[in-house]
Structure 1
Amino acid sequence: MTAGDDAPTINDPGYAAALDAAENLLGFRLERFLGPAPGEPTNGEDFKRIATMHAFGDAWPRTEHLDTRTRALVSVTIAATLGVLEPLRGQLRIALNSGATKEEIVETFIQIAAYAGVARAFDGYQVATEVFAERA
């Protein structure tokens, strides 16, 4: 299904709920990132919709066994370990918005340094200090 077919739009209740969940977690609306980029093929919109619905409509709401704060710290760990620094910025915001403390995030980076490497942890920690400064 391509964006021009019967793909859910922002007006679709499930997609709208995922976007609302993202706003609650991140503190801002995602729509500004979801528009077409110059030269992007038409199915790029499908990718963004599917990824948004999967993350914010399927995974994040699953709080029966793993609360949002814990899920956020796990997500910080994954993003930092993978070295995906811009997504890490969002995960750090979600962690702070979900009740994780700056001190808990520092402890997360200590654990990342022990198991994923000091260099990778330092790269991610630099992003964390920028996010901390946003909230100062």
Structure 2
Amino acid sequence: MANSNEELSYAAALDTAEQLLGVRLEQFLEPGIGEPANGEDFKRLATVHTFGDAWSRTDILDTRTRALVSVAIAATSGTLEPLRGQLRIALNNGVTAAEIVEVFIHIEAYAGAARAFEGYQIAVQVFEEKAEGEST
């Protein structure tokens, strides 16, 4: 059972995630069928560390820069579903689609064409999603 400070940290991390992503994370954090009880601990720890500890450190790297770094990391590591989220965070925080394309050009040069093209297909889907959302 988490103490009140841990609960406050978790709530703040969820709020930060919503600000960055534009959606609440709770729907993605619900326990799955057969998931052990400590799965909740993993999700809470990962959420607090990522959105409470890392993303909030804007004194040296601002959110926009962190978003570009996160896109590059997710794309080069081949974590495509997290890449989708990182692209949404980037676009929601002032990064342009053209800047994201430049990141993929750089990924292609340093991580290879196959990895860059694979991630870029996710980027195109997120660009379309964003354009459709803006046209409604």
Matched, 1:44 2:39: yes
Consecutive aligned runs of 4 or more in structure 1 exceeding 3 Å deviation? none
1:30 to 25, 28, 33: 25
Aligned length: 130
Equivalent pair of 1:79/1:88 in contact (CA under 8 Å): yes
Distance 2:90 2:70 in 1: 8
Determine the structure 1 residue equivalent to 2:134.
Answer: none
Identical aligned residues as a percent: 71
Q: What TM-score comes out, normalization by structure 2 length?
A: 0.93
Distance 1:120 1:32 in 2: 30
Measured after TM superposition, the shift of residue 7 of structure 1 is: 2.4
Matched, 1:57 2:52: yes
- Structure 1, unmatched stretches of 5+, are 1-5
C-alpha deviations, 1:19-51, integer Å up to 9, x for none? 000000000000001110011110000000000
Matched, 1:93 2:57: no
What is the root-mean-square deviation in Å for CA atoms of aligned residues?
1.3
Determine the structure 1 residue equivalent to 2:108.
Answer: 113
What code does the residue aligned with 2:21 have?
L
Q: Which structure has the highest helix share of the two?
A: 2
- Structure 2, unmatched stretches of 5+, are 132-136
Equivalent pair of 1:8/1:15 in contact (CA under 8 Å): no
Measured after TM superposition, the shift of residue 58 of structure 1 is: 0.2
What code does the residue aligned with 1:28 have?
V
Distance 2:28 2:52 in 1: 17
Determine the structure 2 residue equivalent to 1:124.
Answer: 119
C-alpha deviations, 1:65-116, integer Å up to 9, x for none? 1010000000000000000000000000000011000000000000000000
Determine the structure 2 residue equivalent to 1:17.
Answer: 12
Distance 2:111 2:8 in 1: 39
